[in-house]
Amino acid sequence: MNKSQLIEELAMRMGLTINSAKTVVSAFFDSIADGLAQDDRAEIRGLGSFKVKSYDGYIGRNPKTGEPSEIKPKKLPSFKAGKELKKRVDDTDPNRR
């Protein structure tokens, strides 16, 4: 499912217009992204948690030339699925959904 499909699904389930659903979905994603940009963590019960992981810099090698190259420290977003989501995805009973 991509963002536009999520917007359509939300609009259909909640009886919203596409524009209203788009506003809700965009606000939701923007709020999570803004929080992560400030090193906050976002936890959504039943779904999972988003957090920022920091990685140290290191000396890597260019695969073509073998020349050493400095890789700078960086921060990357990370998602960890919650127990309920893992169980729902792994559920093998087709009638349960």
Dihedral-angle region of residue 40 (phi above 0 means left; psi in -120 to 50 means alpha; beta otherwise): beta
Check: pTM over 0.85? Answer yes or no: no
Same domain, yes or no, for 86 and 71?
A: yes
Percent of the chain with pLDDT over 70: 95
pLDDT value at 97 more than 90: no
- SS3 assignment, position 82: coil
Are β-strands 48-55 and 74-81 bridged in parallel, bridged antiparallel, or unpaired?
A: antiparallel
Which pLDDT tens digit goes with each residue over 50-80? 999 999 999 999 999 999 999 999 999 999 9
Same domain, yes or no, for 55 and 77?
A: yes
Q: How confident is the model at residue 35 (pLDDT cuts 50, 70, 90)?
A: very high
CATH number of domain containing 82: 4.10.520.10
Angstrom distance (rounded) from CA 94 to CA 25: 28
pLDDT of residue 42: 96
Same domain, yes or no, for 47 and 87?
A: yes
